[in-house]
């Protein structure tokens, strides 16, 4: 037991480590207490550690814990919509609006003309419907929630079957699978067709008096090729409508413009196209290719949108004022720049259409003046990707700074850059760390230079 007594006290150790980390003192105490407890357990199991070891490892753990706070990161991966790095960054216009609404009062549910209680998100819903060129629209917290909500609303006791093609039973990010979403929503999945081929008659045969709707799920994060086939949307829509059923599509990414016009990539179906082809309700994410805040947008037939808004679950997944503000700015901007998307300040769109030459010029500027004593530094051609579970087949040209460290390992160099003053996240190959310029904001170039010089000196 005397050995236990020799363990440093929580108070002393916390006090000693506090100057090294900028964390609230109660959190430092909590972290240190857990570490000491852990060492106590180890001691009881006859595993001894010196005081210095305990101090050093606690200090390291505490620094890592502090680094796990949500903080800005420079995305040098070349993946535009990086799920782990927060998907789509907002543009300056949305950020300004966010600042104003977040720090003051607003007319969130207040009608200024009458001075009476007002409709939440009324303006946004009209703007969304206008942009989608459809009857009505609304938004909730994310696309998965929008799908659950829609299904819950449209299925009922005795009429709860949802028909989905076997080629569309996808897993979306975070391990959420379409069959599980259906189950959560109280729907009964009716699979039709085969993995590679689904015919119109497969859908037709599956329709019963218990059918609630037909669901299409966009294969946004994978593709199938070879001996494949499926009916066109208008054919499925006609079948659904002839049987008095709605046709709903979970579109996922929700590109608002012709992606193939912005970059040498494939065409991602837009919600507008889906609705024109006969989809009754389309559902997509606000923070994938749309480039807005995390949200799930539902657009289409007004009777169905109205029903969705009356469903009690809507209240549980409704957006807060911060999301509503940034989404409102994003949608307004699309409406204003409809004729010329190059006027938009949505970062993912800007990144998509930046010329390779411009990236090269920036890369050259960043590496000018960097010492090559500790690393070989060069500029190389790379490929960037849309990411975020969108357009898995699309890659387009980009430029990266390639760093081959001379006296440390590539993973160590990468780790140092991730944990420096400004976190810079690149990607590694066997012998090099690559920092892709495509997803780095030009105004961050100087920070990248600083991070690199600090890392390469050490
Ligand atoms: C990404 C995606 C979702 C989930 O969107 P979240 O906004 O992450 O909830 C759902 N369906 C499809 C087809 C998707 O691509």
Please spell the DSSP secondary structure of 124-150, one letter per residue.
HHHHHHHHHTSSEEEEES-HHHHHHHH
Separation between Cα atoms, residue 403 and residue 53, nearest integer Å = 33
CATH for 73-86+351-456 (3.30.450.90, 3.40.50.2000, 3.90.1150.180, 2.40.37.10): 3.90.1150.180
Separation between Cα atoms, residue 224 and residue 217, nearest integer Å = 14
Average pLDDT, the chain: 94
Between 387 and 328, residue with greater pLDDT = 328
Quote the pLDDT of residue 17: 86
CA distances, 358 to each of 167, 351, 363, 401 (Å): 41, 11, 9, 14
The neighbour count for residue 51, using CB atoms within 10 Å, is 12
Dump the DSSP string for 239-270: HHHHTT--EEEEEES---S-HHHHSSSPPPPP
Query: What does the pLDDT look like over 54-95, one tens digit per residue?
Result: 999 999 999 999 999 999 999 999 999 999 999 999 999 999
* Residues near 124 by beta carbon (within 8 Å), at least 6 away in sequence: 139, 324, 327, 328, 331
Inter-residue contact 341 to 333 (CB < 8 Å): no
Quote the pLDDT of residue 458: 62
Phi-psi region of 31 (alpha: psi -120 to 50; beta: other; left: phi over 0): alpha
Quote the pLDDT of residue 2: 63
* Residues near 7 by beta carbon (within 8 Å), at least 6 away in sequence: 36, 39, 40, 43, 54
Query: What does the pLDDT look like over 34-50, one tens digit per residue?
Result: 999 999 999 999 998 99
Q: Please indicate whether residue 172, judged by its CB atom, sits closer than 6 Å to ligand 1.
A: yes
67-90 exposure pattern, b = at least 16 Cβ within 10 A, e = fewer: eeeeeeebbbbbbbbbeebebbbb
Quote the pLDDT of residue 6: 76
Q: Where does 92-343 sit in CATH, by number?
A: 3.40.640.10
Q: Please indicate whether residue 182, judged by its CB atom, sits closer than 6 Å to ligand 1.
A: no
Q: Please indicate whether residue 285, judged by its CB atom, sits closer than 6 Å to ligand 1.
A: yes
Strands of the 296-300 sheet, one edge to the other: 136-140, 296-300, 281-285, 247-252, 211-217, 161-165, 188-192
Dump the DSSP string for 371-415: --SSEEEEEEEEEEB-BTTB-TT--EEEEEEEEEESSS-HHHHHH
Separation between Cα atoms, residue 345 and residue 84, nearest integer Å = 23
The neighbour count for residue 8, using CB atoms within 10 Å, is 17
Of the residues 81, 83, 144, which should be mutated to test ligand 1's pocket, given the most ligand atoms within 8 Å of the CB?
A: 144
Phi-psi region of 78 (alpha: psi -120 to 50; beta: other; left: phi over 0): left
Phi-psi region of 87 (alpha: psi -120 to 50; beta: other; left: phi over 0): left
* Residues near 322 by beta carbon (within 8 Å), at least 6 away in sequence: 98, 101, 102, 293
Quote the pLDDT of residue 258: 85
Inter-residue contact 73 to 85 (CB < 8 Å): yes
Separation between Cα atoms, residue 283 and residue 286, nearest integer Å = 10
Share of the chain above pLDDT 90, in %: 80
Separation between Cα atoms, residue 274 and residue 257, nearest integer Å = 13
Handedness of CA 257, 252, 149, 333 (dihedral sign): negative
Predicted TM-score (pTM) above 0.85: yes
How many residues does this entry show for the chain?
458
Average pLDDT over residues 220-237: 94
- Ramachandran angles phi, psi of 189, nearest 5°: -75, 130
Q: Whose CA is nearest to atom 14 of ligand 1?
A: 252
Residue 182 has pLDDT above 90, yes or no: yes
Query: What does the pLDDT look like over 400-445, one tens digit per residue?
Result: 999 999 989 999 999 999 999 999 999 999 999 999 999 999 999 9
90 Cα: distance to centroid of ligand 1 (angstroms): 18
Q: Whose CA is nearest to atom 11 of ligand 1?
A: 252
Inter-residue contact 430 to 79 (CB < 8 Å): no
Q: Please indicate whether residue 278, judged by its CB atom, sits closer than 6 Å to ligand 1.
A: no
295 Cα: distance to centroid of ligand 1 (angstroms): 10
Quote the pLDDT of residue 19: 87
Share of the chain above pLDDT 70, in %: 99
Average pLDDT over residues 364-383: 93
Q: Whose CA is nearest to atom 6 of ligand 1?
A: 143
């Amino acid at each position: 037991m005397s050995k236990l007594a020799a363990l440093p006290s929580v108070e002393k150790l916390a006090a000693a480590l506090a100057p090294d980390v900028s964390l609230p003192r109660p959190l430092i105490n909590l972290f240190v207490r857990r570490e000491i407890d852990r060492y106590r357990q180890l001691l009881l199991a006859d595993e001894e550690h010196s005081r210095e070891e305990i101090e050093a490892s606690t200090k390291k753990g505490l620094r890592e814990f502090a680094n796990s706070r949500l903080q800005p990161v420079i995305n040098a991966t070349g993946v535009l919509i990086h799920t782990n790095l927060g998907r789509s960054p907002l543009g300056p216009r949305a950020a300004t609006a966010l600042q104003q609404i977040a720090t003051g009062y607003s007319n969130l549910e207040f009608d200024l003309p009458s001075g009476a209680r007002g409709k939440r998100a009324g303006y946004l819903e009209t703007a969304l419907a206008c942009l989608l060129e459809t009857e009505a629209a609304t938004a909730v917290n994310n696309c998965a929630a929008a799908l659950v909500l829609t299904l819950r609303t449209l299925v009922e006791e005795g009429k709860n079957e949802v028909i989905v093609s076997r080629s569309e039973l996808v897993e979306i990010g975070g391990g959420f699978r379409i069959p599980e979403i259906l189950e959560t929503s109280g729907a009964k999945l009716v699979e039709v067709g085969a993995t590679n081929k689904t015919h119109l008659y497969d859908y037709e045969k599956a329709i019963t008096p218990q059918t609630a709707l037909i669901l299409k799920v966009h294969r946004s994060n994978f593709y199938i090729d070879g001996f494949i086939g499926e009916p066109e949307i208008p054919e499925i829509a006609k079948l659904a409508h002839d049987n008095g059923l709605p046709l709903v599509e979970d579109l996922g990414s929700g590109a608002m413009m012709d992606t193939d016009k912005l970059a040498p990539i494939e065409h991602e179906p837009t919600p507008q196209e889906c609705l024109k082809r006969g989809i009754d309700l389309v559902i997509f994410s606000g923070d994938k290719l749309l480039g807005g805040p995390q949200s799930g947008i539902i657009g289409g037939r007004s009777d169905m949108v109205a029903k969705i808004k009356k469903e009690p679950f809507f209240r549980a997944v409704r957006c807060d004022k911060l999301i509503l503000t940034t989404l409102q700015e994003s949608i307004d901007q699309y409406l204003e720049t409809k004729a010329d998307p190059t006027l938009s300040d949505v970062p993912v769109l800007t990144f998509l259409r930046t010329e390779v030459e411009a990236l090269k010029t920036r890369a050259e500027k960043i590496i000018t003046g960097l010492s090559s004593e500790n690393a070989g530094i060069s500029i190389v051609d790379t490929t960037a990707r849309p990411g975020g579970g969108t357009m898995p087949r699309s890659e387009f040209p980009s430029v990266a700074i390639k760093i081959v460290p001379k006296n440390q390992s590539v993973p160590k160099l990468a780790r140092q850059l991730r944990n420096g003053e400004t976190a810079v996240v690149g990607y590694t190959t066997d012998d090099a760390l690559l920092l892709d310029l495509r997803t780095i904001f030009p105004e961050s170039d100087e920070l990248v230079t600083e991070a690199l010089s600090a890392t390469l000196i050490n």
